Structure 1
């Protein structure tokens, strides 16, 4: 996948007609690619199916929220004109993240409450440090016995714990960026290698490699910027832990988006509009998480394509 820049390109020696033509192709390509990525690559990844208890005996669910959002990634769009990492700026960024966590918990409770097979405890769990830092990946082994006992004592009557958290807030998910960049590097190296093995093109292989590396980096990050401006993506991870034995029952990752308005690329987005984007994207991600939880548990029939 190639991302194309919509921002002014690095100056090159070319005639005006060629430059205008390239700019038109670039603009069309980035619009198509951004839309395709936003709508088709939602970032869903969930594990095994499982079965919720019958509705006459709902699952008592406790909630716990963590956050792995990189404050620097939030500062890049929240305080774009401030290059200094000052205590005041750090406080503003952490306030944004804390507000997002509060809204996420509120939205999660409201979205889960109508599920017949669940009885949600509206009082969230105070997350112990060991659970805060535990990676939310698929695990074969159960929780540490000491941690499990601590969770059981702090959640009397709960059958399971839904641990969730925001990983990317208002930015293209880091996992997507890594995937795009790795693809660009591998494809560029492959083309350069093919050029090198042919004597006729060997002399230009090194020049091509340097030139393409610079160009692809500019194009990729311009594409990420466009996706951020249009959709303000929010990525959420979640896992369901059995509080009887400490094993992970289910896990999921979803990315939510706001409405897509292309005009955001050519005008200044107000703080109020951006806040609305973030709220909509967060709600979208949480709604997908809960829908997947119901579907994978067999509570709802699968959606036909």
Structure 2
């Protein structure tokens, strides 16, 4: 069973060094969907379950999370899979000129296309309205771009504005959805950080919504995204609507999302305090102003 830990760490090493999941799957003679399930769901869960269970029981429980990985076939091929993985080396790329961070973003966006099918579809998000005591519900779509060169994400906000952006899916553990929330040429970046669960096709994602308010002060709040459909039809998505629902009008189901996203501590905001100099007293004044 020790091979499972070594296999997981080797795949992680290859992925972190730019090797695509499909290339790894072809190298070890495994279907990409099976390798994806193994890497994103089975092995992380197995390693976590080892803390409280025997290797045999931990593997059984981890395999129960997916339906396309055969225990018999997996255990029968562990030695060969491990050998092939350790014979595979990433191709070192030549140093790039310009901004290395932008090159990294572009590279990650392109590689994320391979992982997008696990999360593609339309969603409804639930978060706190920053202007009223209401639950904010907004449609999202996650799909691949027309040329399949990046993960395309769209959002219709509660005020019916449509924003398009891009997503990065990193190591089946977290994802970033990024938009510009203002009309061009203004730029106000929205970043939604999602914690990806150890399931092959999750129906719910959760994380933090980071953006600017109308006065360009930074705010952060919880967000839950619940999958509505596997469809990536943009026309159907455009027919969806975002809305604000007052607390008094929530259904029992919506109240669950409200209680998770709209309580004290689920919303963080800072503001700029007019001051001839910035010192410790301004910090106290800011906290008082935010209570108003």
- Does TM-score exceed 0.5, indicating one fold? no
Compute the TM-score of the two structures, normalised by the length of structure 1. 0.24
Higher relative contact order (CA 8 A, sep 6+): 1
| Richer in strand (by share) | 2
Give the structure with the higher percent helix: 1
